[in-house]
Amino acid sequence: MEAAEVCDLLGIEVERCDLGKLLKLVDYMRCIDCETCVVVCEFTHSGKSYVRLLKTRSGVEKPFSCFHCENAPCVKVCKRDAIIRKEDGGLYIIPSKCNKCLDCINACPFKAIRLRGPGGAPGKCDLCEKLRSEGLEPACIAMCPSGVIMMSK
């Protein structure tokens, strides 16, 4: 999905959106609550799913994972600058810089960071860095039967 299309969907003016930056979004109105994203994430991240089902106010469970926020609370709260934005626009936790204080886990409003990720540091959605390096899409985007998880290039 092109950034312009994402902006259109979100109702943001393209000029105000930083084109080229990575943007991940889920169309919750069309999500059918099937858990496919959760299980494919678990499969591609050696048994740990970074997509979490949260119960919404209407009682249905919807998948939440790291949205790679522009103004990310986890980045602000990290004292070691261990959460960095790489060139592709995504936020990544650098395990070697992390002192495992777990402040980021508490800071994330979407509960998207979980304990014991790679290297013992907290782990979160890495947008399937390994799959993308092989020219593939992130697993949840490729497998979603409704096609509601989208990412700008």
Partner 1 sequence: MKLSEPDETGRPRPVPIEGSEFLLEADTVVKAIGEIPTPPIYSGCELSEPSGGLKVDQNFNLSGNIFAAGDVVTGPSKIGRAVKQGLQAASKIDELISKGRIGR
Among 35, 73, 94, 142, binds partner 1 (CB under 8 A): 35
Q: Which stretch binds partner 1 (CB under 8 A): 19-27, 30-38, 79-87, 127-135?
A: 30-38
Site membership for partner 1, residue 34 (CB under 8 A): yes
- Dist CA 46 CA 60 (whole Å): 27
Residue 152 binds partner 1, judged by CB under 8 A: no
Phi and psi angles of residue 150, each rounded to the nearest 5 degrees, phi first: -130, 160
| β pairing state of 83-85 and 91-93 | antiparallel
CA 105 to chain centroid: 14
**Residue 36 near partner 1 by CB under 8 A:** yes
Is 65 among the residues that bind partner 1 (CB under 8 A)?
Answer: no
SS3 label, residue 39: helix
145 binds partner 1 (CB under 8 A): yes
> For 40, which DSSP code?
H
Min dist CB 147 to partner 1, Å, is 12
Q: Does 28 bind partner 1 (CB under 8 A)?
A: no
**Interface with partner 1 includes 43 (CB under 8 A)?**
yes
> Pairing mode, if any, of strands 149-151 and 24-26?
antiparallel
Contact residues for partner 1, defined by CB under 8 A:
30, 32-40, 42-43, 143, 145
